[in-house]
Amino acid sequence: MTHMPETNLPESVDPNRLKITSDDATKGTLIGFKCKECGTSVFGHAIFCQQCTSSDLEEVDLGDKGILFSYTIVRIPPAGWPGDVPYVLGQVELPAGPQVLAEVVDCAHEDLKIGMAVEMILQAVPAENGGPDKAVYKWRPTTAGA
């Protein structure tokens, strides 16, 4: 594997939630916290368990795959939205339980199905204040077997 110059590589949009796992910043894993008392996992940083209020938490990899739980087709984006319009905002349930909201890409609207398998990809988005691009996580249909 060749070593790429690091100057133009995107950085995680949120290091508390997304860890980049490939040299070219196209793959990553979601990060969460798991309660050692009751086993409940949450996406992102947590100080105590939402289920049992224990503060005995450990950081866990939540992986890069899930199931589409619900979605919305957004026709009026938030100010500064850098992507296409309309776009699909998908709520995805991870195997460990937490749900993660992100754009769904590479899927025609008529092909969206609740319960379909999706995988996370990272896309580089220019930072608003200059500096390195931000690696943003998005969902796309899992193509294995297609």
Q: Which of 22, 24, 52, 114 binds Zn ion (CB under 5 A)?
A: 52
Q: Which one, 52 or 73, has the nearer CB to Zn ion?
A: 52
> Between 85 and 124, how does the x/- string for binding to Zn ion read (CB under 5 A)?
----------------------------------------
Which single residue is written with the structure tokens 């894993």? 29
Q: Which of 8, 21, 22, 51 binds Zn ion (CB under 5 A)?
A: 51
- The identity of residue 84, as a single letter, is D
Residue 40 and residue 55 in contact, taking contact as beta carbons nearer than 8 Å? no
Find the shortest distance in angstroms from Cβ 100 to Zn ion.
Answer: 19
Burial of 28 (0-12, 13-18, 19+ CB in 10 A): buried
Q: Which one, 52 or 127, has the nearer CB to Zn ion?
A: 52
What is the CA angle 75-79-84, rounded to 5? 45
Q: The tokens of 46 are what? A: 């947590």
Does position 38 interact with Zn ion (CB under 5 A)? The reply is yes
Does position 54 interact with Zn ion (CB under 5 A)? The reply is yes
Residue 111 and residue 41 in contact, taking contact as beta carbons nearer than 8 Å? no
Residues binding Zn ion (CB under 5 A): 35, 37-38, 40, 49, 51-52, 54
